[in-house]
Homo-oligomer: A and B are copies of this chain.
């Protein structure tokens, strides 16, 4: 059985990995993400390599093995299903469920997970629009466009918000830019670093491109 520390490392490696070309994660980034000192990560990578969960060459970065990836996806599944459960069943705010799920993801048995999944009617995404890995460990590849680079003028649908920060999520909520909502990008001004977004009926909202790039869209 993987300890919850190990589960956290695997999950984090998976997430970092998704953001890189070669699926190779630098230990420094990992240390920052895990909030530990670099030496700790080196130690841990050796241990994980010994258990066959990551492949790792000294000074060469880390990569999940297929066993490690299966485990990471299982943790991610628990995390995201729990988030959705907390919002839908217990009525928590989407800005607070990430932290809650960080704890719960390690305590949920397969049986309980299956009940949640069935109660929620086999959902595909969590409250932030992040895809939920299937019980068999498959994950659908997500959208590639954001408010920062989609076509302008046309109606589009918000599909995912790529930031778990409380304050950012609350801001997004106040703007009405939550997953599922239809909007359109009126105009983009690269010089002003700004994006004007029109939300159904309301007056336009102005975002910087950094924020806009975190809000993924479809169509």
Task: Give A85-127 as 1s and 0s: 1 = Cβ < 8 Å from B's Cβ atoms.
Answer: 0100111100010001001101111011001100100000000
Contact B89 A89 (CB under 8 A): yes
Show 14 A/B contacts (Cβ-Cβ < 8 Å), sorted by A.
A86-B112, A89-B89, A90-B116, A90-B119, A91-B115, A92-B111, A92-B115, A100-B111, A100-B112, A103-B108, A104-B104, A104-B112, A106-B107, A107-B107
**In the bound complex, what is the Cα–Cα distance between A107 and B100 (angstroms)?**
8
Nearest B-chain residue to A86, judged by Cβ? B112
Binding site for B on A (CB under 8 A): 86, 89-92, 96, 100, 103-104, 106-109, 111-112, 115-116, 119
- Give 4 A-B pairs besides A89-B89, A90-B112, A103-B107 with Cβ atoms closer than 8 angstroms: A90-B115, A91-B115, A96-B111, A104-B104
The interface residues of chain B lying within 8 Å CB-to-CB of A106 are 107
Q: Knowing A90-B115, A90-B119, A116-B90 touch, does A107 contact B104 (C-beta < 8 A)?
A: yes
Least distance between A117 CB and chain B CB atoms (Å): 11
**In the bound complex, what is the Cα–Cα distance between A116 and B89 (angstroms)?**
9
Nearest B-chain residue to A99, judged by Cβ? B109
The interface residues of chain B lying within 8 Å CB-to-CB of A89 are 89, 119
**In the bound complex, what is the Cα–Cα distance between A96 and B115 (angstroms)?**
13
The interface residues of chain B lying within 8 Å CB-to-CB of A108 are 103-104
Contact B115 A109 (CB under 8 A): no
The interface residues of chain B lying within 8 Å CB-to-CB of A107 are 103-104, 106-107
**In the bound complex, what is the Cα–Cα distance between A100 and B108 (angstroms)?**
8
The interface residues of chain B lying within 8 Å CB-to-CB of A111 are 92, 96, 100
Least distance between A170 CB and chain B CB atoms (Å): 16
